[in-house]
Amino acid sequence: GQQVMQIPQYQHVQEGEDFTTYCNSSTTLSNIQWYKQRPGGHPVFLIQLVKSGEVKKQKRLTFQFGEAKKNSSLHITATQTTDVGTYFCAGHPGTYKYIFGTGTRLKVLA
C-alpha cells in the first residue's frame, strides 16, 4: 500500500542549531502538507506544496517539494525552544485522502 516515511524518528538539538526532517513517499503525490503537533495537542497546518521543485519559506522554516513529487523536506534554522513538537508531512496521492508520515519528534535543549 501507499506509505509515507519520515526520518529521523527523533532529533535532539541544542537551541540555536539547525534541524531538518525528510519525508519520502512510495508513490507520486499531487501535493504535500506539513503539520506541527505539540505534546498533548492536535496537528496544526504549516504549509502546502503543490509544484514540482517548489520551495517556500516561513521565517526560519524552509519547505521543499522534490522534483519527482515523491519527497519533501522541512528545515528549521537556529531552533528555539518553541519549535519543540512532532512534525508530520501528509501526502495527497490523488485520491480523496491524505497519508500522514511517521513523524519526527524534535526536542530543543536550552
Partner 1 sequence: DAGVTQSPTHLIKTRGQHVTLRCSPISGHKSVSWYQQVLGQGPQFIFQYYEKEERGRGNFPDRFSARQFPNYSSELNVNALLLGDSALYLCASSSGDRQPQHFGDGTRLSIL
Between 96 and 110, name the residue whose CB sits nearer to partner 1: 96
Between 43 and 66, name the residue whose CB sits nearer to partner 1: 43
Q: Which residues bind partner 1 (CB under 8 A)?
A: 1, 30-31, 33, 41-45, 48, 88, 90, 92, 95-103
Contact 33, 98 (CB under 8 A): yes
CB of 97 to partner 1, least distance (A): 4
CB of 44 to partner 1, least distance (A): 7
CB of 36 to partner 1, least distance (A): 11
Between 16 and 38, name the residue whose CB sits nearer to partner 1: 38
Between 85 and 103, name the residue whose CB sits nearer to partner 1: 103
Contact 6, 104 (CB under 8 A): yes
How far apart are the C-alpha atoms of 108 and 91, rounded to whole Å? 26
The residues with which 19 forms a beta bridge, in sequence order, are 76
Report, in angstroms and rounded to the nearest whole number, the Rg of the chain calculated over CA atoms: 13
CB of 104 to partner 1, least distance (A): 10
Contact 73, 20 (CB under 8 A): yes
> C-alpha angle with apex 31: 30 to 35, nearest 5 degrees?
150
